[in-house]
Amino acid sequence: MIKAGIIGATGYAGQELVRILLGHKEVEIKWYGSRSYIDKKYYEVYQNMFEIIEDICLDDNIVELANQVDVIFTATPQGFLASILNEEILSKVKIVDLSADYRIKDVATYEEWYKIEHKSPQFIEEAVYGLCEVNREDIKKARLVANPGCYTTCSILTIYPLAKEGLIDMSSIIVDAKSGTSGAGRGAKTDNLFCEVNENMKAYGVASHRHTPEIEEQLGYASGEQVVLNFTPHLVPMNRGILATAYANLKDGVTEEMVKAAYDKYYKEEKFVRVLEKGMMPQTKWVEGSNYVDINFVVDKRTNRVIMMGAIDNLVKGAAGQAVQNMNLMFGFKESEGLELVPMFP
């Protein structure tokens, strides 16, 4: 049994971490960190935890926390962990960071897209990008894991096999993605009010969304070439879920059979990636509440393009579930421990 602490436990991703870890037989939560609700009982913030959690919310004192637990999850805004992380902390505890602070290897790129100065760039090279299906062996040895973003998890896993096998023109990729409103966090924002979101759908962050360089960097590693792509996210009136639809030109001579073989090669043995049968399209409702990624593709012979589709729950595989999957690898637990979550319907 290991002890875990969560900083940012009262955000949507933090609450999902709590829900998942309560069902994990190898973990005990010792610290519910929340700057906004210090000294409040956790169930007073999330009433679904009434008579389940009696603990009060504590502060975000990571120095003290590192002395009490084996792993820390930081479900915090960009810049928080980078501003306080030091060698003393990392020598005591393993960290899974759900922010973008250590995802991007180039400091200048991070600072350009996130508009903040990186305060601890000395840890960027060490941090392992926590996409378990790609970096599993490195994650097992890591003490600092950068948990991927929700859009990036869905987009990269959807495209990865074809990028890795060199079947698509990497300069032709377009990613069109839709997310439920929980992806915007729990903070009070006018754009997230019911009257703004309901019966509405909109693009945002057009040509400027901060997940763009993360997707480009990881697909660049996969393909062995520099990648520049178009990524356009949309907000849709649902609580959870991401659907990413990606388009790319097939290289000469690439057939539908070759595309299917690539997906099977990389995902046939993956517990949480489900490559659907021909004609079955990924839908957010069939992954809701689970750590699964549903993926499929269609080859458009008329245009010689491939249409790649992926669906995830943004709070589980796109955040908390993937963080727990990373933790399981870091501590040598069964990778699926605590994550045997059957998708909810309706």
**List of domains in the chain:** 2-126 (3.40.50.720), 151-313 (3.30.360.10)
> Is 154 assigned a catalytic role?
no
pLDDT of residue 184: 84
Whether pLDDT at 189 is above 90: no
pLDDT of residue 345: 96
Please write the tens of the pLDDT for every residue from 52-86: 999 999 999 999 999 999 999 999 999 999 999 99
Whether pLDDT at 212 is above 80: yes
Please write the tens of the pLDDT for every residue from 259-280: 999 999 999 999 999 999 999 9
Q: Are strands 230-235 and 2-7 parallel, antiparallel or unpaired?
A: unpaired
What are 241's two structure tokens?
A: 């879920």
> What does pLDDT average to over the chain?
97
- Percent of the chain scored above 70 by pLDDT? 100
pLDDT of residue 188: 76
Q: Which amino acid belongs to residue 212?
A: T
pLDDT of residue 211: 97
Q: Which amino acid belongs to residue 40?
A: K
pLDDT of residue 175: 98
- Determine contact, residues 6/65, Cβ cutoff 8 Å: no
What are 55's two structure tokens?
A: 């603990």
Please write the tens of the pLDDT for every residue from 128-183: 999 999 999 999 999 999 999 999 999 999 999 999 999 999 999 999 999 999 99
pLDDT of residue 265: 98
- Determine contact, residues 130/156, Cβ cutoff 8 Å: no
Of 57, 132, 150, 154, which residue is the catalytic one? Answer: 150
- Candidates 322, 311, 280; CA nearest to 158 is 311
pLDDT of residue 185: 86
pTM: 0.97
- Determine contact, residues 11/326, Cβ cutoff 8 Å: no
Model confidence at 221, in pLDDT bands (50, 70, 90)? very high
Please write the tens of the pLDDT for every residue from 320-332: 999 999 999 999 9
